Amino acid sequence: MHATIVTLFRDLFTPLLEQSVFGRAVKRGLVRVDFVDLREFGEGRHRVVDDRPFGGGPGMVLMAEPVIRAVEAARARHPRGARTIHLSPQGRRLDQALVRDLASDRRGLVLLCGRYEGIDERAIEVLRPEEVSVGDYVLSGGELPAMVVLDAVARLVPGVLGDEQSPAEDSFGEGQGLLDCPHYTRPAVVRGLGIPEVLRGGDHAAVAAWRHAQSLARTRERRPDLLHDGERGAS
Ligand code: 4FV
């Protein structure tokens, strides 16, 4: 996995690149992340990248030319081509199916992080990026959404998750698309609360059946929208 991040704030990514699962994947060379600093493509000696919106209104807008040049520079780092993703509330909602699609794509990733009120629309018309949203709320920038994409995709890169975890078992894992089942670990009693007996029986088939039933029940209860018609029926 090779991702190039176009941003004004690359230091926001440092903790992700140095710690935990993602940090280990970077150290082991399974994931490569580099940056294009949008400021370097700013105009004039003050390297301006934003200006007031045509038509008035609050805030500032990222100028088209600096964004276009920065993304072109990022794309040039991907000889096998790259998918350009603009993180934006106007985009397709990120879900595990899109994450799987991105992870299975041999091309690199260019992640464009907006700031201020957004990016001049002509940069979008010229670059024609895929637009992806992490949720229906407004953040201060595209950096956090970009980190969400990086972390979710990296988990599906072979070797990133040690054998202690398998993406298939994750929520929304391969083909299931269900919420995850409850998890328990030692001690067997916590504040007087025990654990489901089936988990102590050692009968793997029974455990798997119980976990699937729990996932289905939870999904029906909390996210019926995730269920296919057949699954929605009576328990
Ligand atoms: C966002 C989201 C998001 C909007 C304007 C950055 C901000 C600012 N990106 N999913 N939700 N972006 O709120 O992806 O430029």
Task: Give pLDDT, residue 61.
Answer: 98
The structural domain count of the chain equals: 2
Q: Which atom of ligand 1 is nearest to the CA of 141?
A: 6
Reference 51, options 102, 122, 156, 108; nearest CA is: 122
Residue 60 beta carbon below 6 angstroms from any ligand 1 atom: no
**Does the C-beta of 133 come closer than 6 Å to ligand 1?**
yes
Catalytic pick among 37, 65, 95, 117: 117
Indicate whether residue 137 lines ligand 1 (CB < 6 A): yes
Active site residue 170: yes
- The pTM of this model reads 0.94
Q: Are 87 and 142 in contact (CB under 8 A)?
A: yes
Other C-beta atoms within 10 Å of 234: how many? 4
The closest of 74, 61, 66 to 119, measured between CA atoms, is 61
Structural domain ending residue among the three candidates 154, 179, 208: 154
The active-site residue out of 37, 89, 95, 151 is 89
pLDDT for residue 27: 97
CA 140–ligand 1 middle distance (angstroms): 7
Range of the domain at 224: 168-233
Instruction: Name the residue among 30, 28, 66 with its Cα closest to residue 150.
Output: 30
What pLDDT shows up at residue 112? 98
Inside any domain, residue 163: no
**pLDDT given at position 62:** 98
Residue 30 and residue 140 share a domain: yes
Residue 53, in any domain of the structure: yes
For the chain, 235 residues long, give each residue's pLDDT as a single digit of tens: 999 999 999 999 999 999 999 999 999 999 999 999 999 999 999 999 999 999 999 999 999 999 999 999 999 999 999 999 999 999 999 999 999 999 999 999 999 999 999 999 999 999 999 999 999 999 999 999 999 999 999 999 999 997 655 555 556 655 568 999 999 999 999 999 999 999 998 999 999 999 999 999 999 999 999 887 666 665 5
Q: Is 115 in the pocket of ligand 1 (CB under 6 A)?
A: yes
Q: Is the CB of 23 under 6 A from ligand 1?
A: no
Q: Which of 65, 72, 151, 170 is catalytic?
A: 170
Three-state DSSP at 129 gives coil
Task: Supply the CATH number for residue 7's domain.
Answer: 3.40.1280.10
Whole-number Å distance between alpha carbons of 137 and 42: 28
Q: Which of these three, 104, 126, 154, is where a domain ends?
A: 154
Q: Pairing mode, if any, of strands 82-93 and 130-133? A: parallel
What pLDDT sits at residue 228? 76
